[in-house]
């Protein structure tokens, strides 16, 4: 073996002792990131997010804090960038003696990776005979981001750490701490109105092992350190309470306390605590789809190769697991919901305001939360929706003078909502609250967090419906996002109205409350204009049969009854399901990232696993586009889904879609004595997943489901109810009754 190759081999063993362990849950690359959107890697603890570049001479960490928004109760505003941390290495001081590497001038065997089973990112490389390692993670228990830079040679690290505010505030340096702080009295998005001023603060602390650290000129220098640990904490004075004008404590004390306790705790303990916390959530689900797995190919190259004839099934598993990683990293209990980019945003004027879009996007973010066993990660959405109900009630009264509440297409932290009214979105939002009950069986949640919101949405629809001459009820002045005329009886509105009435009728029954109101809903639901089949066999998008078979619009609003709703199913309404398939076929396969993800879920519900899987080719295709565009999504090298540009709903919609292909579930009507839930095992299996297993999916009724299969047929399964229950199981073409 030539000397150089031999060296590389031994260095690889030194640098990557972990290679022997599970590779399947790693994204990895052989060069530093240049581009934020396509290459940098995300970490997050729900409250904060960071994008890591893994730079060698100069590293960059761009970061966010979830409440850093501009906006108010009238205007969506926009989610903001917080800032960057830079670590600039002083090469002269870092490398005193060139080492023995043949190419001592350059960096060799560079590897940048993200282990999504531990939520730790690592960069390793050798330079001039010294081996360097950077580790990064975002701790949910400690509410800090932690970065460690180390080398295998004592005193090898010298350089400067700087902290740069994205809104132009200066940086104060004192001792080993950097601080940026300020308010947004004057910052305006799109030249709009004054915003409520939010106070913000971020602090960085640099701890050295060996050598020394000192503050100078707004920066911190470190010299001759063996390693340095950089801690980052940030916050604002946002409080999720309209009654307090959305303002709480100034962030300084809490940010400082987080840094102080993280410093006392120390790197090793922080890491251990983080991995324990994260892996408890991540390890709930395990997926093996069989087939080829090309984990030894760098992730960006793997994405390019995926289009080859025999697909890399391991990449499909990785993207499934990455969806879970992204939801855990951007939506933890006690915090705010994941927005259009989760929590990762490097712009103060981001695409579509990086907001909570109500006409599919924020809903899609939370579609997988329950089936993928992340019901706790759902709670931020629930808390946000309930926090802005009163704001929306006032705005709705002002606009329409009716009860209840509704949203426009865009919406923000303080309940401000802009762009067109999307009446049907309110039912879509509360459907998720109802689903939290369906999947957990938590009646207290249903009573206090879900039902009051569902009832208000029903009131909105009761007031907005109007009878046709024959008594049929239609929703007035509706909108099929984001197209078509505004008119009565739009299918999206009819289906959403049916869904919220149906869910609320069941909820009131389960809670044993509101009998009169429930009776009113039952009567109204029976009179609602139902889904209609048009001249070319399609499911009509409008009351008038005017759908064009050439309409390729990305929104699939007239199919909400198929997924995520339950008004249309192949078993209960086969003709409508067939019409839905006609419409879906006409819409075509190629679309934006999130639209493709939705189609996967729809084909899964229509029990066509091959078609669902065919869509993976569109979703998992390399995407170069960064500009705002609405057609032709794909994925960037860092596996962020592209609308384009980056939009996280596609990642989450894909995760939901795979769950839906493997298992579907329904609650039995509350008065059914024979069984409480119905489960479909492998309802939409593509042939390429012939042998495999999944553990830990969640079904409605609070049931955890494990499935094993060979040649597409179930060979074993386990159902474990949170409470004892009876389940009707559809498996291998048979129906069985089981106890769970």
Binding site for ligand FUC (CB under 6 A): 340, 352, 357, 359, 361, 482, 554, 592, 594, 630, 643, 647
Q: Which residue lies nearer to ligand FUC by CB, 357 or 524?
A: 357
Block residue for tokens 């519900």: 605
Least distance from C-beta 331 to ligand FUC, angstroms?
A: 18
- Cβ distance to ligand FUC smaller for residue 653 or 686: 653
CB of 717 to ligand FUC, least distance (A): 37
CB nearer ligand FUC, residue 631 or residue 708:
631
- Only one residue has tokens 């989450």, namely 652
CB of 419 to ligand FUC, least distance (A): 8
Whole-number Å distance between alpha carbons of 658 and 81 = 32
Are residues 374 and 80 in contact, defined by beta-carbon separation less than 8 angstroms?
no
Minimum CB–partner distance for residue 532 and ligand FUC (Å): 24
Query: Under a CB-based contact definition with an 8 Å cutoff, are residues 375 and 698 in contact?
Result: yes
Nearer to ligand FUC, 416 or 686 (CB): 416
Residue with Cβ nearer ligand FUC (55 or 412): 412
Task: Give how far the C-alpha of residue 281 lies from the chain's centroid of Cα atoms, to the nearest Å.
Answer: 15
Q: Are 474 and 529 in contact (CB under 8 A)?
A: yes
| Maximum alpha-carbon separation in the chain | 91
**Measured from the CB atom, is 484 or 701 closer to ligand FUC?**
484
Residue 615 CB, shortest distance to ligand FUC, in Å, is 17
- Measuring CA to CA, which residue among 613, 595, 614, 499 is closest to residue 556? 595
Round to whole Å and give the CA distance between 373 and 370.
5
228 forms beta bridges with 149, 208
Instruction: Tokens 């969806």: give the residue.
Output: 323
- Among residues 146 and 340, whose Cβ is nearest to ligand FUC? 340
Q: Identify whether the C-beta of residue 422 lies closer than 8 Å to the C-beta of residue 407.
A: yes
* All residues at 6 or more sequence positions from 311 whose CB lies less than 8 Å from its CB, including other chains: 291, 292, 616, 688
**Considering the complex, what minimum distance in angstroms separates the CB of residue 301 from ligand FUC?**
28
Using Cβ positions, the residue closest to ligand FUC within the complex turns out to be: 352
Q: Minimum distance from CB of 632 to ligand FUC (Å)?
A: 11
Q: Which is nearer to ligand FUC, 425 or 579 (CB)?
A: 425
Helix (H) or strand (E) holding 20: none
Q: Which is nearer to ligand FUC, 535 or 630 (CB)?
A: 630
Cβ proximity of 155 and 210 under 8 Å: yes
Tell me the sheet residues that pair with 679: 665, 729
- Residue closer to ligand FUC by CB (options 315, 360) is 360
> Which residue do the tokens 């913000």 mark?
200
Output 37 or 164, the one with its CB closest to ligand FUC. Answer: 37
What is the helix (H) or strand (E) element at residue 547, kind and residue range? Answer: none
- CA-to-CA distance for 429 and 383, rounded, in angstroms? 12
Find out whether 454 and 423 touch, Cβ atoms under 8 Å: no
Query: Sheet holding 692-699: strands in order across?
Result: 286-288, 692-699, 703-710, 713-721
Give min distance, CB of 423 to ligand FUC, in A: 16
Report whether 632 contacts 619 (CB < 8 A).
no
* Residue 737 C-beta: closest distance to ligand FUC, Å: 43
How far is residue 672's CA from residue 630's CA, in Å, rounded to a whole number?
45
Question: Whole-number minimum distance, CB 630 to ligand FUC, in Å?
Answer: 5
Q: Least separation, in Å, of the C-beta of 360 and ligand FUC?
A: 6
**CA separation for the pair 329, 47 (Å, rounded):** 9
SS3 436: helix
Q: What share of the chain is helix, strand, coil (3-state, %, to 5)?
A: 35, 30, 40
Task: Count the helices and strands in the chain (H runs, E runs).
Answer: 18, 34
Q: How far is the CB of 555 from ligand FUC (least distance, A)?
A: 6
State which residue, 54 or 412, has the beta carbon closest to ligand FUC. 412
């Amino acid at each position: 073996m030539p000397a150089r190759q031999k060296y590389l081999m031994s260095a690889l063993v030194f640098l990557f002792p972990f290679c022997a362990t599970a590779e399947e849950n790693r994204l990895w690359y052989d060069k530093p990131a240049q581009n934020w959107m396509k290459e940098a890697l995300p970490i997050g603890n729900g409250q904060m997010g960071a994008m890591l570049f893994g730079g060698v001479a100069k590293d960059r960490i761009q970061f966010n804090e979830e409440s850093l928004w501009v906006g108010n109760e009238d205007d969506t505003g926009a989610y903001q960038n917080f800032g960057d941390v830079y670590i600039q290495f002083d090469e002269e001081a870092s490398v005193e003696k060139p080492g023995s590497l043949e190419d001592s001038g350059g960096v060799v065997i560079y590897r940048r990776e993200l282990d999504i089973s531990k939520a730790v990112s690592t960069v390793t490389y050798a330079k001039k005979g010294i081996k360097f390692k950077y580790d990064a993670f975002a701790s949910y228990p400690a509410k800090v981001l932690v970065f460690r830079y180390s080398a295998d040679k004592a005193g090898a690290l010298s350089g400067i750490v700087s902290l740069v505010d994205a809104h132009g505030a200066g940086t104060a340096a004192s001792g080993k701490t950097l601080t940026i702080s300020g308010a947004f009295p004057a910052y305006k998005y799109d030249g709009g109105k004054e915003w409520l001023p939010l106070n913000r603060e971020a602090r960085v602390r640099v701890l050295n092992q060996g050598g020394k650290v000192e503050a100078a000129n707004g920066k911190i220098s470190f010299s001759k350190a063996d390693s340095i640990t950089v801690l980052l904490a940030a916050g604002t004075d946002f409080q999720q309470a309209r009654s307090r004008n959305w303002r709480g404590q100034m962030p300084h004390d809490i940010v400082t306390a987080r840094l102080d306790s993280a410093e006392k705790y120390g790197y090793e303990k922080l890491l251990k605590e983080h991995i324990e916390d994260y892996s408890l959530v991540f390890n709930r689900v395990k997926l093996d789809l069989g087939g080829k797995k090309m984990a030894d190919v760098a992730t960006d190259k793997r994405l390019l190769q995926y289009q080859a004839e025999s697909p890399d099934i391991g990449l499909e598993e990785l993207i499934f697991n990455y969806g879970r990683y992204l939801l855990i990293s951007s939506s933890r209990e006690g915090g705010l919901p994941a927005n259009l980019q989760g929590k990762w945003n490097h712009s103060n004027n981001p695409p579509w305001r990086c907001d909570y879009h109500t006409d599919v996007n924020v809903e899609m973010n939370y579609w997988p939360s329950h089936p993928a066993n992340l019901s706790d990660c759902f709670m931020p959405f629930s808390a946000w929706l309930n926090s802005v109900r009163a704001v929306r009630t006032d705005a709705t009264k002002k606009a329409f003078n009716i009860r209840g509440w509704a949203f426009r297409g865009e919406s923000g932290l303080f309940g401000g909502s802009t762009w067109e009214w999307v009446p049907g979105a309110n039912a879509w939002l509360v459907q998720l609250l109802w689903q939290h009950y369906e999947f957990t069986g938590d009646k207290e949640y249903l009573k206090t967090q879900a039902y009051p919101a569902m009832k208000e949405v029903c009131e909105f629809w009761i007031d907005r419906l109007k009878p046709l001459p024959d008594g049929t009820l239609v929703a007035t002045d509706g909108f099929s996002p984001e197209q078509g005329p505004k008119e009565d009886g739009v299918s999206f509105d009819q289906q959403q109205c049916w869904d919220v009435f149906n869910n609320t009728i069941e909820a009131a029954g389960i809670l044993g409350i509101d009998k009169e109101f429930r009776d009113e809903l039952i009567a109204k639901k029976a009179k609602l204009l139902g889904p209609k089949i048009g001249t070319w066999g399609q499911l009509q998008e409008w009351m008038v049969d005017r759908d064009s078979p050439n309409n390729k619009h990305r929104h699939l609003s007239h199919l909400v009854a198929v997924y995520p709703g339950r008004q249309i199913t192949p078993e209960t309404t086969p003709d409508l399901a067939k019409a839905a398939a006609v419409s879906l076929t006409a819409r075509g396969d190629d679309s934006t990232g999130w639209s493709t993800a939705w189609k996967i879920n729809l084909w899964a519900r229509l029990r066509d696993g091959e078609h669902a899987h065919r869509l993976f080719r569109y979703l998992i295709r390399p995407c170069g586009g960064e500009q705002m565009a609405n057609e032709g999504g794909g994925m960037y090298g860092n596996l962020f889904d592209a609308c384009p540009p980056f939009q996280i709903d596609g990642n989450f919609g894909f995760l939901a879609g795979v769950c839906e292909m493997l298992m579907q579930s329904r609650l039995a009507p509350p008065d059914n004595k024979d069984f409480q839930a119905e489960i479909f095992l492998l309802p939409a299996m593509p042939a390429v997943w012939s042998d495999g297993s999944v553990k830990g999916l969640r079904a409605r009724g609070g049931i955890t489901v494990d499935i094993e299969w060979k040649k597409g047929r179930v060979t074993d399964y386990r159902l474990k109810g949170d409470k004892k229950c009876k389940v009707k199981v559809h498996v291998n073409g048979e129906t069985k009754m089981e106890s769970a």
